[in-house]
Amino acid sequence: MSVLVTGGAGYIGSHTVAELVAHGESVVVLDNLRQGHRAAVLQAPLYVGDIRDTALVSEILRKHEVDTVVHFAAHSLVGESVQKPLDYYDNNVNGTAKLLSAMLENGVKRIVFSSTAAVYGEPVRTPIDEADPTVPTNPYGETKLAIERMFRWCHDAYGLQSVSLRYFNAAGAHPTLAIGEDHSPETHLVPIVLQAALGQRPHVAVFGNDYPTSDGTCIRDYIHVMDLASAHRLAVARLRSGDGGCEAFNLGSGTGYSVQQVIDVAREVTRRDIPVQQAPRRAGDPAVLVASSGRAKEVLGWQPLYNDLATIVASAWNWHQSHPNGYADRTKPEEA
């Protein structure tokens, strides 16, 4: 019995693979390495390929006796999704439909899905509850929501069991520093702030200082990547217990921090200068996104361990300091 992790060479995927392996799971990874890193997959066989390749997916499911899929493989950049919506529908929605076909053909009926706070769009209240309206404001969130809805129909038609995990803002790295965050291009606030601290960027552009928040910058809910990883492990256990059906859970800390507060905390943690430049608002950014994660705690038994922003930023800083060029710092000497 094994777990197939699609997108397991990516940021959250690779940390989830490490978490599953650390808890005794047999894991196999499928990743096209478009965004993922071969060096991020340390303890599991890696198949380089596409989730839309149903023959390959079927072969993996059978060969590794997969009983549950944890599905990360997706395009995940909000701005890019606005520029290239059809790519997002094809890779995310059509890709998941193909993956599900291969799963169902092989009798695999459990899936844990990497969803997002972007399914909510502009929230109607804070903190956001799972039952709140889902009105995405960009194709990325729209495709993730379409997939969640596909699960509902596949539950009714074929008995598919699913857990969708709606993440807020992931940051941090594995405590061993064997894996961490390395996106190209980097668009996320925490790594960008730390790259500025390292002198790799001249400054951090703060996207908007006229939001209706205490200091005018956007508020987000930052959650450590290992806490996300543990939620996936618990979701796999819930599906195997047979208690699940078709469920969605928010994963956040429940505390919001503004962009300015993140920069201030990073200055304290790194003791470095972090130059800032004001920039226009980024299209599609809601002012405040904070999760209510009570359901994940209650139903999955989830207990986040990294509860404050300074700890999360310190974890990310350890990775960035030891890997200023991301995985390139590890793979090059090994390849040489």
**Chain contacts with ligand UDP (rule: CB under 6 A):** 78, 169, 187-189, 192, 204-207, 218, 220, 259, 282, 285
Measure the CA angle with vertex 228, ends 225 and 229; round to 5°. Answer: 90
Q: How far is CA 70 from the centre of its chain?
A: 12
Distance, CA of 237 to CA of 300 (rounded, Å): 9
Specify the 3-state DSSP secondary structure of 185: coil
Q: Which is closer to ligand UDP, CB of 74 or CB of 204?
A: 204
Q: Least distance to ligand UDP from the beta carbon of 187, Å?
A: 5
Q: Which is closer to ligand UDP, CB of 220 or CB of 323?
A: 220
Q: Which is closer to ligand UDP, CB of 108 or CB of 204?
A: 204
Q: Least distance to ligand UDP from the beta carbon of 246, Å?
A: 25
Q: Which is closer to ligand UDP, CB of 240 or CB of 281?
A: 281
Strands (E), the chain: 2-6, 27-31, 46-48, 66-71, 110-116, 161-167, 169-171, 204-207, 219-220, 222-224, 246-251, 257-258, 276-279, 288-289
Q: Which is closer to ligand UDP, CB of 58 or CB of 195?
A: 195
Q: Least distance to ligand UDP from the beta carbon of 183, Å?
A: 10
Residue tagged 């208690």 (tokens): 243
Q: Which is closer to ligand UDP, CB of 79 or CB of 301?
A: 79
The answer to whether 98 touches 51, Cβ cutoff 8 Å, is yes
Q: Select which of 140, 211, 222, 257 is catalytic.
A: 140
Query: Cis peptide before 136, with omega less than 30 degrees from 0?
Result: no
Give the residue closest to ligand UDP by C-beta. Answer: 218
* 88 is annotated as an active-site residue: no
Specify the 3-state DSSP secondary structure of 128: strand
Q: Least distance to ligand UDP from the beta carbon of 198, Å?
A: 15
Q: Least distance to ligand UDP from the beta carbon of 220, Å?
A: 5
Q: Which is closer to ligand UDP, CB of 192 or CB of 309?
A: 192
CA nearest to 13, candidates 88, 74, 84, 59: 74
Q: Least distance to ligand UDP from the beta carbon of 86, Å?
A: 22
Q: Least distance to ligand UDP from the beta carbon of 185, Å?
A: 11
Sheet holding 46-48, edge to edge: 46-48, 27-31, 2-6, 66-71, 110-116, 161-167, 246-251
Distance, CA of 296 to CA of 274 (rounded, Å): 35
Q: How far is CA 326 from CA 14, 316, 323, in A?
A: 14, 12, 5
The answer to whether 249 touches 163, Cβ cutoff 8 Å, is yes
Q: How far is CA 314 from CA 29, 49, 99, 184, 306, in A?
A: 29, 34, 37, 22, 11
Q: Which residues are catalytic?
A: 140
